[in-house]
Amino acid sequence: MDGKIVNLRSKLEIYKAGSGGGNLADCPVRDVIQGISNKWSSLLMEALAEKPYRFGELRRLVPDISQRMLTQTLHDLQRDGYVHREVFPTKPPSVEYSLTDLGRSMFGPLHQLIQWAELNHGAVREARKVFDAAEG
């Protein structure tokens, strides 16, 4: 019965959940989603899901990210608890980035979305072509 209520609940309620007044603006779900909805997060998560990487390896793996944005995105992913950063006292020092348990947990659904993109990028590209042709 409670389950029924949950099912009937408007999907938007999930976005509002936890913000008493039904206010979308300061919503914890948005807060979390926006942390991973940026240009580089999903790509770096995808890389680190494969195996841990060092800073320079990631830079070579993703050649069109700037060093500045790589630093910053990794920092943000670490702050949100998805990524673990470990410094090894080699000379010169090396830093390894790996997914935490929380990161692996989040990567599950993220990977579903990436797989959808793999299967459907043809449809999306076709839609764009049609749209661009129609408006000029």
Q: List residues binding DNA (CB under 7 A).
A: 38-40, 54-56, 64-69, 71-72, 74, 85, 91-95
Would you count residue 18 as binding a second copy (CB under 8 A)?
A: yes
Of the ranges 14-22, 66-74, 90-98, which one interacts with a second copy (CB under 8 A)? 14-22
Q: Alpha carbon 33 to chain centroid distance? A: 8
**DSSP-assigned states of every residue in 6-48:** HHHS-THHHHHTT-TTT-STT-HHHHHHHHH-STTHHHHHHHH
Q: Are 92 and 84 in contact (CB under 8 A)?
A: no
The C-alpha atoms of residue 99 and residue 81 are separated, in whole angstroms, by 9
Q: Which does 98 bind (CB under 5 to 8 A by kind): DNA, a second copy, none?
A: none
60-75: b (≥16 Cβ within 10 Å) or e? eebeebeeeebeebbe
Site string for a second copy, 98-117 (x = CB under 8 A): ----x--xx-xxxxxxxxxx
Q: Name which of DNA, a second copy, none residue 41 binds, using a CB cut-off of 5 to 8 Å depending on partner kind.
A: a second copy
CB of 48 to DNA, least distance (A): 13
Radius of gyration of the chain (CA): 19
Interacting partner of 10 out of a second copy, DNA, none (Cβ under 5 to 8 A depending on kind): a second copy
Q: From DNA, a second copy, none, which one binds at residue 49 (CB under 5 to 8 Å depending on kind)?
A: a second copy
The contact pattern for a second copy, residues 62-101, with x = CB under 8 A and - = no contact, is: xxx-------------xxxx--------------------
Residue where the block lists tokens 């007044």: 21
